[in-house]
A and B are shown apart, each in its own frame.
Chain A
Amino acid sequence: MSDHNASTTPSRPRHQLQFGVFFQGVNSSTVWNVPEAGSQTDFESFRRLAQTAEQGLFAAFFLGEGLRLREHLGHLHDLDVVGRPDAQTMLAALAQVTTKIGLVATQNTTYNDPADLAHRLHSLDLISGGRAAWNIVTTDNAWTGANFRRGGYLDHADRYTHAEAFVRTAKRIWASWGAKAIAADGTAPQWLDTDGIEPVHHEGQHYTVDYTSRLPRSPQGRPVLFQAGDSPTGRDFAARQADVIFSAHNALDDALAFRRDITERTVRAGRPAGAVKIMPGTEFVLAPTVREAQEKLEWVRSHQVGPQQAIAYLEQFWGRPLDGVDPEGPLPEIAPAVDETDVTRGSGFQGAKAAELTGAWRREAAEKGQNILQFVRERSSRGAARTFSGSYAEVADRLAEYARLGAVDGFNITPWLIPSGLDDIVNHLVPALQDRGVYPTEYAGDTLREHLGLDWPEGEGSDAGAADGTGDSCAAIGTRAAHRDHDTGRPALPATT
């Protein structure tokens, strides 16, 4: 079915970069203590950010998922942005005020039911005209499970086995309906021709699913799949199942090494080398000149991490209150009260070996001559590699090098200010990248799959994950449903592509 590939992948220069925006809603990356910092829950903040991103031809708008409010030393953590909406509900609303941008919901495989989550993502994909994506995450801790019927049932070691069975089940559900399943007009024998729509049955260690899909294929075949796990198991999972990796590797050498690793794993999984796109998470602090950008970066860091946040950051690893410790003094000499940090401040803090870590940090801070504030500001931004800071032209040149070397397929940007944090990127960086020929000048199509240059998903209707042999199994409906191509069931593409 090479005609599918040809028509969903318009010709485009190799190694153009795509941008996504990640409305974080948690952690210290968002500056909230200045007048221009907007609401984290009002629809207006989300609308503004998504529409700005769309003006900048961003491929995707990301939302995280929160399943339990973070805690700090046994209390609710109160020093960072907290409180966020359900991703899919928000994205269904944003689908109404945008027309092109992809809508990515982070959803976990442990505290959702496969049939239920697959249906809701499928619904989001249809209501948005083929713009939905699922950022797959795995969570296994009982602390999060305390909010759910099942409680904490999954062992850490089993999380990817479970996630993979979940994703394969979802793919089968999304591919269930054949072409011409829905009546062409009111004279048909019935609304739905159920011939060929097979129930999906899955029996796993933790779930039994017996379900018949309730929706036709979307204009992009199925939701695009993002994945962020970085362990070897996580990378292999992505190589087998995902379309895009939301990675943590954005320093150039690191990005190139990660690309090579993922390419190898992808080929080993029997997929084409470029089947899995890579978009590292990043932050931009930009200004007209290098000097202004440096000043701005200092300002951003000082507002992301204040004295209270710095002390609380250390307390998490020390496992005890550090009352009276001077944030402008050296790291405390007292010993940590825990062996290993727990998950209650979020997965980024989980499982650190406290004694080793705090000792190494004391040495590092002393060597660099850093006080607590300086040390934590550098740590919590995860080093300069996570942030591109500089003049528009300078950063555009650096990004062009990523594009030239094919190190990444794009970047997923966390703005440090809501809702205006993309304005300078869209107004200045995007045109600079376009001038360098490494950023799109128009959307490649109407679906997220088209923006990302991903192929139409083939042969996912069977459990084996191989071609299902049913031939033309691609039914779809879209906003231009009247123009459906009834031979393939796929929406007719505009003549201009």
Chain B
Amino acid sequence: MTRSTRFTNNTPPRGGRGILALEVDGDGAHPAAWRVTGRDPAEVLTGPRTVRVVQDAEIAGFHAVTFDDGRLAPTHGPAARLDAVQRAAHAAPATRAIGLVPVVDAVYTEPFHVATQLASLDYVSSGRAGWIVSARGLAKEGSAVGRDALPEAELGGEAADVVAANRRLWDTWEDDAVIRDRCTGRYIDRDKVHYADVQAKRFSVKGPSIIPRPLQGQLPVWAPTQFLDRSGVGDGLRLDAVHGADAVLVSAADPEALLSAATARSAGGLDADTVVAELTVVLDARGQSGAARWAELEAWEAATGGPALFAGTATELTDYLAELFTVAGGVRIHPAVLDVDAAELGHLVLPELRRAGLLAPVGPGRTFRQTLGLARPASRFATA
């Protein structure tokens, strides 16, 4: 990759076409999914399995995969998972087009480490990294690292501070900071590498970043709505390409409510492209209806919480997504059983949506920002 192509920015707008992300954690969204795969339950903790599900998603035409993670073992279903950034990095060399979006905690991590890890993911994936911010602040998470619980009311503020610190660190190296100038003996132009000097409520970071600017300049950042600055007084994240999130993850109790919630955001004057709707999907497959498959899983163990559940045929889901895309630029699909539902989506749903012109283009050579229709921003420190 040469310097001239790396930093070109010819991002076409998405033109209202949608983004589909597939959540690939474990064996699927339902806590009993591991019981119906017929595979060794421990296989989810291996490199080959990690790669295969991402390759399958890429072949199916998904724009991104997301890797759920948490600082405590899940209490339902597979009670172990590999580190999300590592899973994304491991899949990177085996894929060429798909966005790789790990979930990374903001509270009990070091902002400096998170910024370096995510920037490194961007390098190993040739610019296909993203970040879903999580922040739970639980006492049990804190006690693992000798820290206290963080009250729910303060999670948004802390997430906002950590995202802002990451974004600032990513800008500390201007794009043309590495000069390799033989005559003066300088490897970098030190006037183009800057201290971050972050002073947040609970931490400070001097900087600069240890790694040059990510290939995308800034990684796309998605965050759940509950971390948003509700009161407008700076107690949470803002939708802000320089300091905050690029899109919010919107959840609701059921598909109808999800449509309403996304519609409400759009009606509030926000660009639909800043909304990513969260949807659990169980499709008719293997001669069973989606509802029957869900009931079978529930007989093992009841799913609690989780995004809105869509149970139905591929055609019904295609119609629903077409409607959802009018108010939400992206949908993050949580397949009830990863192997089964992702395959049905790939065979029956994505081709229909693509034929109808409802999906944004995706393919090798695009950064994740380009797939999302986001321009590549200049560093905030760049003077030229």
Residues of chain A at the chain B interface (Cβ within 8 Å): 32-33, 37, 40-43, 47, 66-69, 75-86, 88-90, 92-93, 95-97, 111-116, 119-120, 123-124, 126-129, 146-149, 151, 182-188, 191-192, 194, 207-212, 214-216, 306-309, 477-479, 481-482, 484
Contacts and interface: CB of A to CB of B under 8 A. Distances in A.
16 contacts: A33-B185, A76-B208, A83-B173, A88-B83, A92-B83, A95-B90, A96-B90, A115-B144, A147-B207, A183-B34, A186-B35, A192-B79, A208-B146, A210-B144, A477-B45, A479-B47
> Which of A66, A86, A88, A184 has the largest count of B CB atoms less than 10 A from its CB?
A86
Contacts of B37: 186
A116 B145 contact: yes
B343 to A, nearest CB: 18
A151 B110 CA distance: 11
Interface in B88-142: 89-94, 108-113, 116-117, 119-121, 123-124, 126
Given A93-B92, A147-B206, A86 B185 contact: no
A76 B189 CA distance: 9
Interface in B170-196: 173, 178, 180, 182, 184-190, 193
Contacts of B124: 43, 85, 89-90, 93
A92 B89 contact: yes
A69 B204 CA distance: 16
Given A41-B123, A115-B145, A183 B41 contact: yes
Contact of A307 (B82, B117, B185, B212): B185
B302 interface: no
B203 A120 contact: no
Contacts of B110: 111-112, 147-149
Contacts of A308: 184-186
Given A43-B126, A82-B188, A192-B80, A216 B86 contact: no
Contact of A78 (B85, B116, B187, B210): B187
A124 B86 CA distance: 7
B204 A146 contact: yes
Contact of B193 (A76, A209, A481): A76
Contacts of A69: 193, 208, 210
| Shortest beta-carbon contacts, A-B, top 4 | A308-B185, A186-B35, A85-B120, A92-B86
Nearest to B6: A42
A90 B40 CA distance: 28
A216 B80 contact: yes
Contacts of A186: 34-38, 41
Interface in B291-318: none
B46 interface: yes
A144 to B, nearest CB: 9
B203 A83 contact: no
Interface size class of B (residues with CB under 8 A): 35 or more
Given A89-B124, A185-B41, A216-B45, 17 more contacts: A32-B187, A41-B212, A42-B123, A76-B193, A80-B187, A85-B120, A88-B83, A113-B145, A127-B50, A146-B205, A147-B207, A183-B34, A188-B41, A191-B34, A191-B78, A214-B80, A216-B80
Interface string B45-89: 111101100000000000000000000110001111111011101
Contacts, number: 227
A144 B189 CA distance: 22
A149 to B, nearest CB: 5
A95 B203 CA distance: 33
B79 A191 contact: yes
B1 interface: yes
B86 A83 contact: no
Interface in B250-280: none
Given A41-B211, A116-B145, A183-B41, A89 B46 contact: no
B91 A96 contact: yes
B144 A123 contact: no
Contact of A85 (B81, B108, B116, B202): B116
Contact of A89 (B77, B82, B86): B86
Nearest to A148: B110
Nearest to A111: B110
B9 interface: no
Contacts of A41: 123, 211-212
B43 interface: yes
B180 A32 contact: yes
Contacts of B149: none
B365 to A, nearest CB: 15
Contacts of A306: 185
Nearest to B102: A89
Contacts of B173: 83
A116 B144 contact: yes
Contacts of A482: 40, 43
B187 A477 contact: no
Contacts of B143: 208-211
Nearest to A312: B185
Contacts of A151: 204
Nearest to A210: B143
B119 A85 contact: yes
Interface string B1-45: 100000000000000000000000000000000111110111101
Contacts of A43: 92-93, 123-124, 126
